[in-house]
Amino acid sequence: MNLLDAVFQGLMLGGLYAIFAAGLSLIFGVMKIVSLSYGAFGVMAAFLALHFTEATGWSAVLSLLIVVPLMAAFGWALQRFVLQRTLGGSALPSILVTFGIAIIIENVLLITESADQKRMSLGWIDTAALELGVIRLGVYPLGLFIFSVLLFGILSLVIARTQFGRAVRAISEDAPTVELLGIRPKTIYAWAGAIALALAAIGGVASGIQTSFSPTSGGMLLIFAFEAVIIGGIGSLWGTFTGALVLGVAQTVGANFFPSQGILIGHIVFLIFLAFMPQGLSGRVKRS
């Protein structure tokens, strides 16, 4: 694999990471809600989609029409009735509850499914590719990349321009004051939870088509998304997008030089950012 091709493959891979990291960036980065169960939700959505396609024979993409609203509703209820109680003060309760949820989901999946690797197929699209000289772009990864640009565009417009987006940003700064202005933080938090799980579902299904997944692959999904958020800079959506691209390129270019060490190289690039550029690419000042 030549270097130029590796860079392009990395960008495509980054597009996939970006889709999955979008929800985490919103709740963990912008709203400062700790979530350790985000990866597990992605895997859960992938299994839901898998069963849906097996039962109906529809395409995995169409299954999103069912899986995404389902996960969004679940996210809303979870945030409203469980996670809301953990907000404020120490981070320990929310770390514990979300970690507990991740463990529960993982083990429920281990019982109901098997520990085997699963994968969803889109038929001929799986292997279709565009040949551009030395670069070979898969149709599906390219489609994902374009989709992720659109997704981040819509998401940042929502956060920047809408009433909901203003409320989200205001609450992450100072929830009690926002409440004085007649906005109910609980409602906003619940909707943010719904959006986050909808995004986790899209990301989980997208990655379940591109690579294989198993009940225990949630941890890795969470770690990649987290790395993208930190490299990009906490609190910035486009930063997360760029961070995901950096991570993807680091992994594929790294694997180009050190075969089968791509993931380690990606981690090391993350560590370098953490050590020398903790504010991330977007350069915003981090608030604890």
Give the binding-site size for another protein (rule: CB under 8 A): 42
Among 28, 74, 152, 213, binds another protein (CB under 8 A): 28
Tokens representing residue 59 in the block: 């395409």
Binding of residue 278 to another protein (CB under 8 A): yes
Question: Given candidates 26, 34, 44, 183, which one binds another protein under the rule CB under 8 A?
Answer: 34
67, 206, 254, 270 from 264: Cα distances, Å: 32, 23, 8, 10
> Is 173 an interacting residue with respect to another protein (CB under 8 A)?
no
Give the nearer residue to another protein in terms of CB position, either 138 or 215: 215
Taking the complex as a whole, the smallest distance from the CB of residue 4 to another protein amounts, in Å, to: 27
Give 159's contacts (C-beta < 8 A, 6+ positions apart).
Answer: 26, 30, 165, 168, 169, 237
| Contact (CB, 8 A) for 27 and 33 | yes
Q: Is 123 helix (H, G, I), strand (E, B) or coil?
A: helix
- Cα distance between residue 36 and residue 102, in whole Å: 7
Among the listed ranges 108-116, 128-136, 150-158, 189-197, the one in contact with another protein (CB under 8 A) is 108-116
CB 59 within 8 Å of CB 209: no
- Give residue for tokens 């098997």: 114
What is the nearest approach in angstroms of another protein to the Cβ of residue 114? 12
Select the residue interacting with another protein from 234, 245, 250, 281 (CB under 8 A): 234
Q: Which of 41-49, 87-95, 131-139, 161-169 is the region at the interface with another protein (rule: CB under 8 A)?
A: 87-95
Question: Is 92 near another protein (CB under 8 A)?
Answer: yes
Q: DSSP secondary-structure letter at 136? A: E
Does residue 95 bind another protein (CB under 8 A)? yes
Q: What is the spatial distance between Cα 254 and Cα 139, in angstroms, rounded to a whole number?
A: 23
229, 219, 287, 212: which is closest to 46 by C-alpha? Answer: 212
Give the Cα separation of 100 and 83 in Å (integer). Answer: 12
Taking the complex as a whole, how short is the minimal distance between the CB of residue 203 and another protein, in angstroms?
16
Q: Is 117 in the site for another protein (CB under 8 A)?
A: no
Q: Which of 9, 94, 172, 210 binds another protein (CB under 8 A)?
A: 94
Q: Which stretch binds another protein (CB under 8 A): 4-12, 190-198, 219-227, 241-249?
A: 219-227
Q: Which amino acid is at 63?
A: S
260 near another protein, rule: CB under 8 A: no
What tokens does 246 get? 């950096």
Residue that the structure tokens 């088509």 belong to: 209
Stretch that binds another protein, among 7-15, 72-80, 90-98, 149-157 (CB under 8 A): 90-98
Q: Which residues are near another protein by CB under 8 A?
A: 28, 34-36, 82, 85-86, 90-97, 99-101, 103-104, 107-108, 110-111, 219, 222-223, 226-227, 230, 234, 261, 263-264, 267-268, 270-271, 274-275, 278, 288
